[in-house]
Every structure is written in C-alpha cells, then in structure tokens.
Amino acid sequence: MYSPTVRRLVAELPNQGRLPDSASATVDNPICGDVLELYVKTENGVITESCFQASGCPAVIAAGAAITIMVKGKPIAVARQIEVGHLIDFLEQLPAHKRHGAEMAVRALRMIIDN
C-alpha cells in the first residue's frame, strides 16, 4: 500500500520539528482531520532550512518530510515550481485516496512563498 520511501520517512521523520524565526504555514484537510505545519528559512533567495509538524496519516507525514528535503538548497523561484506530481514521484507513489497528503504539502509551501 505504501512505498518503501513513504514508510521510511514515517519511521525516521527527517526534519520533524519547529523552526524559530522562519516563515511558516498551516494547512488542514477537514475531511480526514489531517494537519500539516511547514517551516521554511531563506537566505539570499535560497531555502536553507525546512521543518515540518504533522498530525495525520502516513501520507501527510511522509509528504511533509519529503517537501522539506526537496526544497532545501533550492532558490525560492525553483521551489515554487514543485508540483504535486513531483512530490508523489519523490515518494514513489501514494495510494489514490492519499493524494491529499502531497496536495497539502505543496499548498503549504506555496502559501509560504506567495506570502
């Protein structure tokens, strides 16, 4: 049901935590109650650090962890181009009914960047 990457991210929770003095966004999914908080720190237009907090299913946890890994070291403009499909590719697939996890992570990132 879940790819090895999703399972590993859920078990290891890389970049889990809060990041003081950073930009952050919180998104939720009212249908299943999942909540994701994303934190991003930038220097000279480049994302230097990112962390996440999550409450919910493996998809949202793995997506939160994955996006922190994907954005680190990327210029903001490049990070803005990350789509749901890219995140799902990174996760090596999500079950169809779990796609919302990736959507929440991308939405959180865009809320930070666009604000």
Partner 1 sequence: MRRVYFDNNATTPVDPLVLEAMKPFFLEDFGNASSIHGFGQRARAAMEQARRQVADLIGAQSQEIVFTSGGTESDNTALRGLAPYLRDRGNHIVTSSIEHPAILRTCEQLEKEGFEVTYVPAGKDGAIRLDVLEAAIKDRTILISIMYVNNETGTIQPLGRISELARSRKILLHTDAVQAVGKIPVDVKKLNVDLLSLSAHKLHGPKGIGVLYVRRGVRFNPLFLGGPHERNRRAGTENVPGIVGLGTACELAKQGLEDFEKRVRGLRDRLENTVLEQIPDSSVNGSRTERAPHVTNLSFRGTEGEALLISLDFQGIAVSTGSACSSGSLEPSHVLRAIGVPSDLIHGSIRFSLSRMNTTEDVDYLLEVLPKTVGRMREMSPLYKER
Residues engaged in binding partner 1 (CB under 8 A): 1-2, 7-8, 10-13, 16, 26, 31-33, 35, 37, 53-59, 61, 95, 97-98
Tell me the DSSP string of 59-91.
HHHHHHHHHHHHHTT-BHHHHTT--HHHHHHHT
Minimum separation from the CB atom of position 29 to partner 1 (A): 10
- Residue with Cβ nearer partner 1 (59 or 70): 59
Shortest Cβ 50–partner 1 spacing (Å): 15
Both tokens of 78, joined, read 């490049």
- Three-state DSSP at 13 gives coil
In the complex with partner 1, which residue's Cβ is closer, 11 or 78?
11
- Give least dist CB 23 to partner 1, A: 16
Which ranges in the chain belong to alpha helices (H)? 4-12, 58-71, 76-79, 84-90, 100-114
